[in-house]
Amino acid sequence: MNTGETTSLVIVGGGAAGLMAACYAGESGLPCVLIERKHRVGSKLLMCGNGRCNLTTHLRSEAFLSAFGDELADFLRPSIEAFTPHELQSWFKQRGLPLMQTRDGKVFPKSERAPDVVHMFSDRLRDLGVPLCLNAPIKSIVPKKDGFTVSVSAFTLKAANVLVATGGVSYPKTGSVGDGQKMAGELGHRLQPYRPGLVGLEWKTPWLMENSGASFKEATAVIYDGQTRIGTTSGLLECERWGLGGGVISNATRLVARANIKSPRLEIVPHPGAKPLLIDKVKTRPLKEAMVTVGGVDLGDVSAKSMESRVTPGLYFAGEVLDIDGPTGGYNLTAAFATARTAVRAIAGTEGMEAKDRPPTPPRRKARKNMRAAQYRRRRRKG
Select the span of 3-11, 61-69, 94-102, 167-175 touching ligand FAD (CB under 6 A).
167-175
In terms of CB distance, is 111 or 211 closer to ligand FAD?
A: 111
In terms of CB distance, is 16 or 223 closer to ligand FAD?
A: 16
Establish if 238 lies at the interface with ligand FAD (CB under 6 A). no
Distances, alpha carbon 64 to alpha carbons 103, 248, 255, 288, in Å: 17, 18, 16, 26
Distances, alpha carbon 74 to alpha carbons 85, 133, 195, in Å: 17, 34, 21
Establish if 164 lies at the interface with ligand FAD (CB under 6 A). no
- Give the list of residues 6+ apart from residue 380 with CB closer than 8 angstroms, or none: none
> 331 with 320: CB under 8 angstroms?
no
> 93 with 87: CB under 8 angstroms?
no
Burial group, residue 353, by CB count within 10 angstroms (0-12, 13-18, 19+): middle
Give the one residue of 68, 83, 148, 171 binding ligand FAD; rule: CB under 6 A: 171
Q: DSSP assignment, residue 308?
A: B
Select the span of 13-21, 115-123, 154-162, 209-217 touching ligand FAD (CB under 6 A).
13-21
Select the span of 2-10, 249-257, 266-274, 326-334 touching ligand FAD (CB under 6 A).
326-334
CB atoms within 10 A of CB 287: 20
Establish if 18 lies at the interface with ligand FAD (CB under 6 A). yes
Establish if 48 lies at the interface with ligand FAD (CB under 6 A). yes
Select the span of 83-91, 120-128, 331-339, 361-369 touching ligand FAD (CB under 6 A).
331-339
CB of 164 to ligand FAD, least distance (A): 9
Nearest to 199 by CA among 43, 328, 108, 70: 328
Sign of dihedral through CA atoms 187, 188, 190, 196? positive
Establish if 292 lies at the interface with ligand FAD (CB under 6 A). yes
- Give the list of residues 6+ apart from residue 22 with CB closer than 8 angstroms, or none: 11, 14, 32, 34, 121, 125, 130, 132
Q: Rounded distance, CA 226 to CA 224, Å? A: 6
> 296 with 321: CB under 8 angstroms?
yes
Give the one residue of 7, 9, 10, 13 binding ligand FAD; rule: CB under 6 A: 13
Establish if 200 lies at the interface with ligand FAD (CB under 6 A). no
Give the one residue of 125, 291, 294, 297 binding ligand FAD; rule: CB under 6 A: 291
235: left (phi over 0), alpha (psi -120 to 50) or beta: left
Establish if 319 lies at the interface with ligand FAD (CB under 6 A). yes
Give the one residue of 26, 49, 197, 245 binding ligand FAD; rule: CB under 6 A: 49
CB of 261 to ligand FAD, least distance (A): 22
Establish if 324 lies at the interface with ligand FAD (CB under 6 A). no
Establish if 125 lies at the interface with ligand FAD (CB under 6 A). no
Establish if 331 lies at the interface with ligand FAD (CB under 6 A). yes
In terms of CB distance, is 141 or 355 closer to ligand FAD?
A: 141
Give the one residue of 8, 251, 332, 342 binding ligand FAD; rule: CB under 6 A: 332
Select the span of 12-20, 70-78, 346-354, 374-382 touching ligand FAD (CB under 6 A).
12-20
Give the one residue of 28, 43, 89, 306 binding ligand FAD; rule: CB under 6 A: 43
157: left (phi over 0), alpha (psi -120 to 50) or beta: beta
Q: Rounded distance, CA 232 to CA 255, Å? A: 9
**CA angle, 200 then 202 then 203, to 5°:** 125
Give the one residue of 167, 235, 295, 327 binding ligand FAD; rule: CB under 6 A: 167
**How many residues in total does the chain contain?**
383
> 220 with 233: CB under 8 angstroms?
yes
Establish if 12 lies at the interface with ligand FAD (CB under 6 A). yes
Which residues are at the interface with ligand FAD (CB under 6 A)?
A: 12-18, 35-38, 43-45, 47-49, 53-54, 137-138, 165-167, 170-171, 174-177, 179, 291-292, 319-321, 330-333, 336
